[in-house]
Copies of this chain bind each other. A is one copy, B any other.
Amino acid sequence: MSASLQQLAEVVGAQLKGNPEQTINRVFPIDLAEEGDITFVANPKYLSKLEECRASAVIVAPGIDLPGANLLITANPYLAFAKILTFLQGEPDAAKGVLPGAHVADSAELDELVTVHPGAVVGENVKIGAGSVIHPGVVLYADVEVGCDCILHAGVIVRERCRLGDRVILQPSAIIGADGFGFAPDGSRYYKIPQVGIVVLEDDVEIGACSCIDRAALGETRIRRGTKLDNLVQIGHNAEVGEDTIIVSQVAVAGSSKIGNHCTFGGQAAVAGHVTVGDNVTIGARGGASGNVESNQVLSGVPLIPHKEWLKMTMSLPKVPEMRKELQQLKKRLAELESLLKEK
């Protein structure tokens, strides 16, 4: 949909400079934008690109002036960009109810304002709140609870008794509540430990495609409010991830670990089992927490060390073969000196 620049200024609470009547149809990148587009500059180093930019308006931070241009001035241009993008998408489609080809158990309790697409399977006693959309091929096992305004994309599977809060977004084939990986040695074989717990995803959680959140052995695995997981992430049974934490693709959090609030884990990072990570911890890509981690740190490597030290370390490791040679030469020269002095 379209909007006037004035409308958009109100949506994001920005100061408007220029023509409030200017019609905006799209948000578009600075180098591709055309007439009718709005673009944004979050990073000052891209300011020079604005000279050739054909957009009809630009979202900028305070202190930037572009004579003759239509501007939305706001302290956080990136956030304003996201909010305008959302606004221009318009309202989500109206609820369509249970569509033909969907399989819904008689005992399921669905709000009237849901959409359940063809090929979706909704089990016994499942509850789904208003505004939620269940895409094709989603499978909800018995006794699952889905809150309001959730989006469960195609291929999502939520196993028995797991619970989702409101506004939870599950990308395609996210797997919620598969059995945790637990086996008791029984002689030389393994005996499966039934995983009778559940998974709880709190409000505003988003889980990426093909990410797996295992159900607890006993009790629950819990992802707290506002936390976002990227694709192909593994969360082990009985783990707990705090609020507003960001976990990038292919991270693994092993069983029974506890991650704090406002953490950020880079891609392919890992947390060992039964480990506690505090709040505001940033772990760099492929970093590995093998023990507890105190709050308020930026760490990398295995074992984790301060990120800056890790950078230095990785730069110096390729010198080790040369260092070994130098060390041997020093030993030889030193031994020569020692024997020389002995003679004297």
Contacts and interface: CB of A to CB of B under 8 A. Distances in A.
Interface of A: 27-29, 32, 76, 78-79, 81-83, 85-86, 89, 101, 103, 117-121, 135-137, 139, 141, 153-155, 157, 159, 169, 171-173, 175, 178-179, 181-186, 188-194, 196, 204, 206, 208-210, 212, 214, 218-219, 226, 228, 230-232, 234, 236, 244, 246, 248-250, 252, 254, 262, 267-268, 270, 272, 285-286, 288, 301-303, 305, 309-310, 312-321, 323-324, 326-327, 330-331, 333-334, 337-338, 340-341
22 contacts: A28-B218, A79-B186, A89-B196, A101-B103, A121-B137, A121-B154, A135-B141, A137-B139, A153-B157, A155-B155, A171-B175, A171-B179, A178-B209, A181-B208, A190-B246, A231-B234, A234-B250, A236-B249, A316-B320, A319-B324, A326-B331, A330-B334
B178 A175 contact: no
Contacts of A184: 76, 78-79, 81-82
B234 A249 contact: yes
A206 to B, nearest CB: 7
B317 A103 contact: no
Contacts of A193: 81-82, 85
Contact of A173 (B27, B175, B228): B175
B267 A254 contact: yes
A244 B154 contact: no
Contacts of A171: 175, 178-179
B341 A318 contact: no
